[in-house]
Structure 1
């Protein structure tokens, strides 16, 4: 896999812009993306990111990414898939606790077996869906069907819990009622997935599951909650409840269903984005579907990263490709010029191929989600996902 990053086209002086050849003599024009001349490579910009000219964030001020950390992400290796070994008995299931409080703790987690293996699991999920459409046939085990049934139950809870009239734009308090129903049912729902000898594992599985759908007191949702859902799936893999043959279905069936549920909750209860980067983030709520979605599109004959600007493609293919579905959703909920409200996604659309996009996003997920103390300070550690 190529070791690159989604902003390569802005950062590497040897890159050229993708402009069609012309039979007339070359003239210097200005690239609408970065302002560089189109007949030769744009000069290396001094700050790696230049702020969008007119966009002013409505809520929290947008902080441009630190150029040093951006450079570090670009130079870091692309994370590789790993096999998930099944947890051997005797078991020592216990209530998981928070252990991350500082950058040192983050480093310790990433150097640990669980830290490396969890990221390797996410990469393996991404690899499993490579070049596949959502509707493609895949192995659907009884466990996969049971997980889908759980998500269906939570969707029904939302249908039974309409938002209440209130003046605040964000954070409808009816979400707390939904969250309580979900939390109260979590253990009985999860027990359906487990054989008799693994039933005590609910003490660890329930907290990851309950943290997957947002925070009830803040009425918000973000990439940390999404990571908890991935951690819950990782725990099922560690327990041997799902195997590698289930990975394509974990993405194309389970994760797609989870995403549908989360979008429903976001729109229904106006969930606040948790720790949003504002205009500098990839998306206010999600990260993983961009990783899985870019993997789906690797080596696609027609669709390139720049295809996200084609409305016909978004309309016709967003049901088959997660990345396109994410872009369509962003365009639905954010009004205005795409390059202004989503400069990061607009930047990525200039990368030459999906392989580079996928590798860059995996590196970015590690750096921007799994290595950030404000996100990972809420993450839990027990006997399945060990602290060290």
Structure 2
């Protein structure tokens, strides 16, 4: 898998922001966010540990339980593995004004986890040629955990996670009935890591 640093930024100044907001991809992202929002209106939030993989004998989205599609479940497991990376990379005992260098070890561990598990999760979807997209999709997931060099985390990193889900959706990895699970399970599990 390639180096995420070889991708280049296209939104770098006011002019490129204006160009982006007039693009079809911008409209697609806004539509995706709107659809995610609509999918959870009036839907009860359940504890994350209650969600499970749906099998052929389960009735999807019955009144008592939310079952996850295989694709959502595989990404859920990948995000949950972030906790294992956190546990294996404790903070370093140091005096520092800015961040803890242990975060850099966490980033390395998580990048490795993504490189190992994401191709497996994508290949199980049986979408033709999906492996061609793994590198670019992994870029957004890797950058959703924070900046390894600056040792920081903010809303731009949360946007990277949303774009990770968006990219998967663009290649039909998710279907509209998955949308509520993207919000109530995947995004929620991602945010809980930082709480």
Same fold (TM over 0.5): yes
Distance in 2 separating the partners of 1:163 and 1:96: 29
1:213·1:262 contact (CA, 8 Å) conserved in 2?
no
SS of residue matched to 1:242 = coil
Match of 2:14 among 81, 103, 109: 103
1:176 matched to 2:176: no
Deviation at 1:168, TM superposition (A): 2.5
How does the TM-score come out when normalised to structure 1?
A: 0.42
Match of 1:113 among 24, 29, 34: 24
Specify every segment of 5 or more residues in structure 2 that has no aligned partner in the other structure, as ranges: 1-5, 47-63
Bigger RCO of structures 1 and 2 (CA < 8 A, at least 6 apart): 1
Distance in 2 separating the partners of 1:254 and 1:129: 13
Deviation at 1:170, TM superposition (A): 4.4
Distance in 2 separating the partners of 1:139 and 1:127: 19
Alignment deviations for residues 67-116 of structure 1 (CA, whole Å, 9 cap, x no partner): xxxxxxxxxxxxxxxxxxxxxxxxxxxx7431112212111111111011
Q: Which runs of 4+ in 1 moved over 3 A?
A: 136-139
Note the aligned Cα RMSD (angstroms).
1.6
Deviation at 1:124, TM superposition (A): 1.1
Aligned residue for 2:56? none
Query: How many corresponding residue pairs?
Result: 169
1:231 matched to 2:163: yes
Specify every segment of 5 or more residues in structure 1 that has no aligned partner in the other structure, as ranges: 1-94, 264-388
Distance in 2 separating the partners of 1:215 and 1:239: 27
- Judging by fraction of residues, say which structure has more helix: 2
Alignment deviations for residues 17-44 of structure 1 (CA, whole Å, 9 cap, x no partner): xxxxxxxxxxxxxxxxxxxxxxxxxxxx
Match of 1:243 among 152, 158, 175: 175
* Deviates further, 152-161 or 183-192: 183-192
